[in-house]
A and B are shown apart, each in its own frame.
Chain A
């Protein structure tokens, strides 16, 4: 099966500070690739670079098309979406406004709102509420709904369950699994349980490069994840 996302020899950073170098991996449809590593390893930086909001060298291909130097809005339009770890809502805008922006040009607004309500019923009940007044868990649901209701080719998720109550995590994981069966998912995750529940392959970032890769299950069984993440 042809990969939906192909990353080859990617390097990026902030100004003179190089954060990532020589990062290569690919993700096929229906696959969840977990990017793991300690704090400061460059996981979020990798997602920013893939999403087109951080300059980079190397090559990024989305469904065969070279998107290495595309701006973020073009990357999004091409079918790659991002679920940020935090700072995921616009102040002053309602839940409906957020979902309207997400589905613009992809599907009918009402259809998108219904899909969001089906994914997370609480969002359907709070369409007119300002998103910044939602709880942390509901914000995560909104960020996920924005990404998943547009039937994306590639989903970039930055620790979607971090800081969320266990009862909410129980809702998020099945929703993510059900909505990404045909997408390629890049999941930045520190939580091994979440990685085991969702992921197939894992890539451990150390000092800006992929130090270890393999299946999540195998790396876990051999104790590599626990050792490398120092948990």
Chain B
């Protein structure tokens, strides 16, 4: 049994952990940094997936669709931020209601344009390779690799670029940032666009291993919030750990119980995690280390 679990099943654990991290990374920007309870995050993933589908239908080129998906989601994201959400940063309940409304609108538009019927996006790189006598699908491996590269890129970008420095300053204190010469409005729009584009990329990457329908984005919404909250809102390193723990645990549990039971257990773990995390933060502060929840 244990031998049978390795390596192909353990690879699935890695894949699901990567999926959790991938779908939550976009939310790190919009919710973790900008503090918008972004219920439209799932629909930004949906836009990425359906952009890929549409380009596949039009040109037959899936990879082109995947390249355009972040652009489409980013444009929609920045339009929402500039058009609606920028007026609501100090009104969290109103922004929650606005993002809920926007999510319903986008879902209905997608359903109207593409129909509620299931759709298939083909994998741009099909097939698998043998590892220790087990088949490892190429596309799933690529999801893991893209997620890893994305994370390293995002962390480096926020830590080393001028945009990253100005973004962290804006998130920490928008008023002070503005008076020190940072265009805080443009910075927030940039962060929202970036988070939306990453959500679009996630949708494009996950479309080939799923069946598309207008509810596609909702599948990832709750888990994205779980990962960001348990990881420590605003902490990318915490997000990675939470994504690996939750995604990996869910995948592992699915081998020994039904998916529904596994998801229930994951939610229980999440609730315990939310309860315990502040205690861990206190412990770390007591030890004189950096508190949880730093910007990167």
State the A residues within 8 Å of B (CB). 51-53, 71-73, 75-77, 81-82, 84, 87-93, 97, 100-102, 104-105, 146
Q: Are B168 and A90 in contact (CB under 8 A)?
A: yes
Q: How far is the CA of A44 from the CA of B172 in the complex (A)?
A: 21
Binds A, one of B17-25, B179-187, B252-260: B179-187
Nearest CB of B to A181, in Å: 23
Interface residue? B155 (CB, 8 A): no
Nearest CB of A to B53, in Å: 40
Interface residue? B121 (CB, 8 A): no
Q: Are B169 and A51 in contact (CB under 8 A)?
A: no
Q: How far is the CA of A77 from the CA of B178 in the complex (A)?
A: 10
Evaluate whether A73 and B169 lie within 8 angstroms (CB atoms) in the complex, with A92-B294, A104-B162 already known. Answer: no
Interface residue? B84 (CB, 8 A): no
Which residues in B have their C-beta under 8 angstroms from that of A91?
A: 172-173
Evaluate whether A90 and B183 lie within 8 angstroms (CB atoms) in the complex, with A71-B178, A73-B178 already known. Answer: no
Interface residue? B277 (CB, 8 A): no
Which residues in A have their C-beta under 8 angstroms from that of B178?
A: 52-53, 71-73, 76
Q: Are B176 and A90 in contact (CB under 8 A)?
A: yes
Q: Is the interface of B mostly helix, strand, loop or mixed?
A: helix
Q: Are B173 and A87 in contact (CB under 8 A)?
A: yes
Residue pairs across A and B with CB atoms within 8 Å: the count is 66
Known: A84-B179, A90-B169. 7 other contacts (CB 8 A): A82-B179, A88-B176, A92-B172, A101-B180, A102-B181, A105-B181, A146-B180
Partner of A51, one of B172, B179, B184: B179
Q: How far is the CA of A52 from the CA of B179 in the complex (A)?
A: 8
Partner of B181, one of A53, A73, A84: A73
Identify the closest chain B residue to A132 (Cβ).
B172
Per-residue 0/1 for B268-296: is the Cβ within 8 Å of any A Cβ (1 yes, 0 no)? 00000000000000000000000000110
Identify the closest chain B residue to A156 (Cβ).
B179
Evaluate whether A72 and B168 lie within 8 angstroms (CB atoms) in the complex, with A92-B294, A92-B295, A104-B162 already known. Answer: no
Which residues in B have their C-beta under 8 angstroms from that of A75?
A: 179
Which residues in A have their C-beta under 8 angstroms from that of B169?
A: 90, 93, 97, 101
Per-residue 0/1 for B36-65: is the Cβ within 8 Å of any A Cβ (1 yes, 0 no)? 000000000000000000000000000000
Which residues in B have their C-beta under 8 angstroms from that of A105?
A: 181
Q: How far is the CA of A91 from the CA of B165 in the complex (A)?
A: 12
Q: How far is the CA of A82 from the CA of B179 in the complex (A)?
A: 7
Q: Are A101 and B181 in contact (CB under 8 A)?
A: yes
Which residues in B have their C-beta under 8 angstroms from that of A76?
A: 178-181
CB within 8 Å of A: which of B157-178? 162, 165-166, 168-169, 172-173, 175-178
Q: How far is the CA of A143 from the CA of B165 in the complex (A)?
A: 17
Identify the closest chain A residue to B296 (Cβ).
A92
Which residues in B have their C-beta under 8 angstroms from that of A92?
A: 168, 172, 294-295
